[in-house]
């Protein structure tokens, strides 16, 4: 696996990978970037879509089969640049680590292959809430490796991230 990006983000990504299965042959670029207000982090990949049409038979209709795959196994994780301006280094590292864990879960679960037009709808279903629970479990496992106490479901970190991303200091 190959990792690139800013030195701080690369170090945090290497820490986060301790609680994930290895992503073999993957290229992950992690860095701060300009994101819309209210979005803490985002993961992107180049997706290849192949449509195959089956010709209609005598009594059947024609069908279209769509295959989607991630091209070259390359992922780009972007973290809101407003978080890089947090002066408290410990809080900044925890916030960025939390976001990276969440985005790595999207990569592991292959959520990027879903159609993006339905993302807002999927986000509010139970599927996304299960992802939030798993992200918190992995984050707490990571905190346990560093001999820190685990965080509860509602914690100061989520509120602090929302406040910093929204620029309402």
Tokens of 73: 């196994």
More confident position, 45 or 124: 45
pLDDT > 70 fraction of the chain, expressed in percent and rounded: 80
Q: Concatenate the DSSP letters of all residues of 78-120 into one string.
A: EEEGGGGG-S-HHHHHHHHHHHHHHHHHHHHTTGGGS-GGGHH
- Rounded to the nearest 5°, which phi and psi values hold at 122? -65, -30
Reply yes or no on whether the pLDDT at 115 is more than 60: no
Q: Are strands 41-54 and 27-33 parallel, antiparallel or unpaired?
A: unpaired
Residue 66 DSSP SS3: strand
Tokens of 27: 């290229």
Average pLDDT over residues 66-82: 88
Topology (CATH level 3) of domain 2-44+73-165: Collagenase (Catalytic Domain) (3.40.390)
Average pLDDT over residues 81-103: 88
Reply yes or no on whether the pLDDT at 168 is more than 60: no
φ/ψ bin of 111: left (φ > 0), alpha (ψ from -120 to 50), beta (otherwise): alpha
Neighbours of 19 (CB within 10 A): 17
Residue 50 DSSP SS3: strand
Long-range own/partner contacts, residues 61-68 (CB < 8 A, 24 or more apart): 68/113
pLDDT band at 117 (very low <50, low <70, confident <90, very high): low
In sequence order, which residues have a C-beta less than 8 Å from that of residue 157 and are 6 or more positions away? 91, 94, 95, 98, 151
Tokens of 89: 């280094």
In sequence order, which residues have a C-beta less than 8 Å from that of residue 105 and are 6 or more positions away? 131, 134, 135, 138
């Amino acid at each position: 696996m190959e990792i690139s990006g800013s030195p701080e983000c690369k170090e945090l990504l290497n820490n986060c990978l301790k609680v994930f299965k290895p992503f073999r042959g993957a290229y992950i670029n992690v860095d701060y970037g300009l994101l819309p207000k209210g979005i803490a982090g985002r993961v992107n990949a180049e997706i290849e879509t192949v449509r195959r049409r089956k010709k209609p038979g005598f009594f059947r209709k024609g069908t279209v089969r769509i295959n989607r795959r991630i091209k070259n196994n390359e992922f780009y994780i972007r973290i809101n640049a407003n978080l890089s301006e947090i002066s408290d280094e410990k809080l900044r590292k925890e916030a960025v680590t939390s976001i990276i864990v969440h985005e790595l879960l999207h990569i592991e679960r292959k959520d990027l292959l879903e159609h993006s037009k339905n993302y807002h709808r999927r986000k509010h279903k139970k599927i996304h809430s299960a992802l939030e629970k798993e992200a918190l479990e992995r984050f707490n496992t990571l905190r346990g490796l560093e001999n820190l106490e685990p965080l509860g479901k509602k914690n100061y970190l989520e509120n602090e991230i929302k406040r910093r991303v929204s620029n309402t200091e």
